[in-house]
Chains A and B, each alone.
Chain A
Amino acid sequence: MNVSTEEAALSAAELRRREAVHLRRAKAADAVMRAVLFAAAAFSILVTLGIVYVLVKESVAFFRHVPLSDFFTDTQWTPLFADAHYGILPLLAGTLVTSAVALVVAIPGGTISAIYLSEFAGARVREAVKPVLELLAGVPTVVFGYFALLFLTPLLQRIHPNLPTFNMLSAGLVMGIMIIPYVASISEDAMRAVPKAMREGSYAMGATRLQTALRVVVPGAFSGIAGAYILGMSRAVGETMVVAVAAGQQPNFTFNPLEGAATITAYIVQVSLGDVPHGSIGYQTIFAAGLTLFLVTLAFNILGYMLRARIREVY
């Protein structure tokens, strides 16, 4: 007896029973999966809570030893020396200078590329250039660090012989080139979102491409472009390997990009490599520095998110 005749032999009642079981199982699976899916989505909240928990817990222990006033006003950061000073300012200055150099490269570079790709380039050029920009974003940052230290710095030293081996200028320049694709890509999205009718109106008035781009498209996409800048800033502040390799690891309270200095991220790397004992003040400093970094980038991210969200507003 084969299967189909076997089924045919079953009573109608049995068939109905089997179908009900089947249906119940499918519904149970559906309910279970709904819960599993929700748990997966909610997991990301746990990640954030974990970050905040770890950073705050160790920072609280740190600030029991070090008053907040020292942390924000002392101009020396020597937590691992006998004469320990815990002023975050040198690290903040290093972070600020390298980021500023990076933005001087990334903002014009990113904006010009975006305007060109969105308003000037033909479809063929756009399709050819975009993957190249993506590749630029995909190169591991430690490779960019190598490039800054062993290619760009010697090159700059030919122009300016007194430039030290570790300096914030070449780290910042390379970081800027690295950030161009991020700024370009988000700015271009924002410019594309500007309705065609606005461009056509402008052309109808006799405006050229450049006039239309600068006076109609860029202002129309302003919030999105500003969001791209803020995101670029956040990237620059959080970038680690380029500065750890090329800017040096000596905390140095200076605003001169021709000198070497440590950034917040470079300091964390340096201490992690040194194998500080768990629970020591040296261990806690990297979490206090990390909390500072987290709060700065969080502020940037929220601001950038709000600005980019405004692109979706109607015109």
Chain B
Amino acid sequence: MSVAADPRAIERIARANERRDAAFAVLGLLVLFVALLVLTALFVDLLIDGWPRLNWEFLTGYPSRFAHRAGILPAIVGTFAVMLVTAAAAVPVGVLSGVYLEEYAPRNWLTTVIEININNLAGVPSIIYGLLALGLLVHQFRLGESILAAGITLALLILPMIIVATREALRAIPSAVREAVYALGATKWQVMWHHILPYSTGGILTGVIMGLARAIGETAPVITIGALTFIAFLPDPPFKAEFPFVSFEWLTAPFTVMPIQMFNWVSRPQAAFAVNAAAAGVVLIVMTLAMNAAAIVIRNRFRRRVRW
């Protein structure tokens, strides 16, 4: 006898299906909840472990053989110096490539190759960039184990992110804007420079900050070029009292960055250094979260201001 003939059987099936629906909804929430829980556990664990070391001396101190005296000042300064180089290298190249691919590129095999290539670069493990830097920047171009080499390495790593973000920002601008400016007799570059780029600044900036936040947390490529873990001095300051006032010597200085400092402390067997590692982890997370939050704020602000 067919099911259709028995209304109660149909109802039973429908009920069972509804129960399965509800069960899955619970499962979905549970999975998301676990992810959230892990994230919270991670923060709380770091905070509890690192709390005793989170003070001003820790932030402004130099590394030491004694865990309770070690600080992270050189790592913080190194992180900012490396970020400066990374931004200076990655932003112009990334934004210009994004403009080319989105606005200029003809549909031909070369463009296709470039696009596939960028896609693929985005998927290359970060340690491979480290090997590239070790072989090419450190040994071939003789940049040494310097802030400059590290900055360029991280710039190459985040280049695909910036290109993709730029393209998305450009795509959001309606073609009517371009047509209007062309109608006034502007050249293509004038359209880009005076109109399209300024309008897409918000989106591009968001991508750049997110890229830099990623670069701050990257450890592997910087370890490979041989960043030191015990730096008891700061790089040469970029501005000086005497002529010529600006110095670029800091670019060639050896350095350390936050994640390397943390990695170094995690890998030591003494428990006292694990406390330092946790404290460094808290600082590192605060740095990356602050940058990601800034990116989200910028994205929302620009989205609100410009309505097409």
A residues near B (Cβ < 8 Å) are: 26-27, 29-30, 33-34, 36-38, 40-45, 47-48, 50-51, 53-55, 57-58, 108-109, 112-113, 115-117, 120-121, 129, 131-136, 138-147, 149-151, 177, 180-181, 208-211, 213, 231, 234, 237-241, 244-245, 265, 268-269, 272-273, 275, 278, 286-287, 290, 293-294, 297-298, 300-302, 304-305
Task: Given A240-B127, A272-B226, A278-B139, check contact A146 B262 (CB 8 Å).
Answer: yes
Whole-angstrom distance between the Cβ of B304 and the nearest chain A Cβ: 16
Which of B128, B216, B277 has the most chain A CB atoms inside 10 A of its CB? B128
CB of B249 within 8 Å of the partner chain: no
Contact yes or no, A138 B17, CB < 8 A: no
Contact yes or no, A43 B130, CB < 8 A: no
Residue of B nearest to A240 (CB): B220
Task: Given A40-B97, A139-B42, check contact A269 B120 (CB 8 Å).
Answer: no
- Beyond contacts A41-B114, A140-B259: 18 other A-B pairs, Cβ-Cβ < 8 A, are A26-B186, A27-B187, A34-B104, A40-B94, A55-B128, A55-B131, A109-B31, A112-B28, A135-B292, A138-B292, A140-B285, A142-B219, A147-B42, A238-B127, A241-B219, A268-B131, A298-B124, A305-B116
Q: Which of B226-246 contact A (CB under 8 A)?
A: 226
Contact yes or no, A150 B49, CB < 8 A: yes
Task: Given A44-B160, A290-B127, check contact A140 B284 (CB 8 Å).
Answer: yes
Which of A51, A58, A136, A239 has the most chain B CB atoms inside 10 A of its CB? A51
Which of B21, B119, B126, B220 has the most chain A CB atoms inside 10 A of its CB? B220
CB of B172 within 8 Å of the partner chain: no
CB of B181 within 8 Å of the partner chain: no
Whole-angstrom distance between the Cβ of B142 and the nearest chain A Cβ: 11
Chain B residues closer than 8 Å to A208, beta-carbon distance: 17-18, 20-21
Chain B residues closer than 8 Å to A113, beta-carbon distance: 28, 31-32, 35
Chain A residues closer than 8 Å to B213, beta-carbon distance: 138
Contact yes or no, B274 A44, CB < 8 A: no
Residue in A133, A181, A290 whose beta carbon sits within 8 Å of that of B131 in the complex = A290
Q: List 10 A-B contacts (CB under 8 A).
A: A27-B187, A33-B189, A42-B114, A116-B24, A142-B262, A146-B281, A244-B263, A265-B220, A269-B223, A290-B131
Whole-angstrom distance between the Cβ of A218 and the nearest chain B Cβ: 12
Contact yes or no, B135 A58, CB < 8 A: yes
Whole-angstrom distance between the Cβ of A71 and the nearest chain B Cβ: 17
Chain A residues closer than 8 Å to B124, beta-carbon distance: 51, 238, 294, 297-298, 301
Task: Given A138-B213, A268-B127, check contact A38 B100 (CB 8 Å).
Answer: yes
Contact yes or no, A54 B136, CB < 8 A: yes
Shortest Cβ-Cβ A-B pairs, 3 listed: A238-B125, A116-B28, A140-B217
Contact yes or no, A44 B159, CB < 8 A: yes
- State in angstroms the CA–CA spacing of A16 and B36 once bound together: 68
Chain A residues closer than 8 Å to B131, beta-carbon distance: 51, 54-55, 268, 286-287, 290
Contact yes or no, A241 B28, CB < 8 A: no
- State in angstroms the CA–CA spacing of A34 and B188 once bound together: 9
Contact yes or no, A142 B35, CB < 8 A: no
Chain B residues closer than 8 Å to A131, beta-carbon distance: 296
Residue of B nearest to A177 (CB): B38
Residue of B nearest to A269 (CB): B223
CB of B92 within 8 Å of the partner chain: yes
CB of B9 within 8 Å of the partner chain: no
Residue in B136, B189, B210 whose beta carbon sits within 8 Å of that of A30 in the complex = B189
Chain B residues closer than 8 Å to A231, beta-carbon distance: 123
Residue of B nearest to A37 (CB): B100
Whole-angstrom distance between the Cβ of A148 and the nearest chain B Cβ: 10
Contact yes or no, B132 A50, CB < 8 A: yes
Chain A residues closer than 8 Å to B210, beta-carbon distance: 138
Contact yes or no, A180 B127, CB < 8 A: no
- State in angstroms the CA–CA spacing of A237 and B124 once bound together: 11
Contact yes or no, B263 A241, CB < 8 A: yes
Scan B47-58; emit 1 where CB is below 8 A from any A CB, else 0.
001000000000
Contact yes or no, B292 A134, CB < 8 A: yes
Contact yes or no, A112 B292, CB < 8 A: no
Whole-angstrom distance between the Cβ of A109 and the nearest chain B Cβ: 5
Whole-angstrom distance between the Cβ of B120 and the nearest chain A Cβ: 5
CB of B70 within 8 Å of the partner chain: no
Task: Given A41-B105, A48-B121, A134-B292, check contact A269 B35 (CB 8 Å).
Answer: no
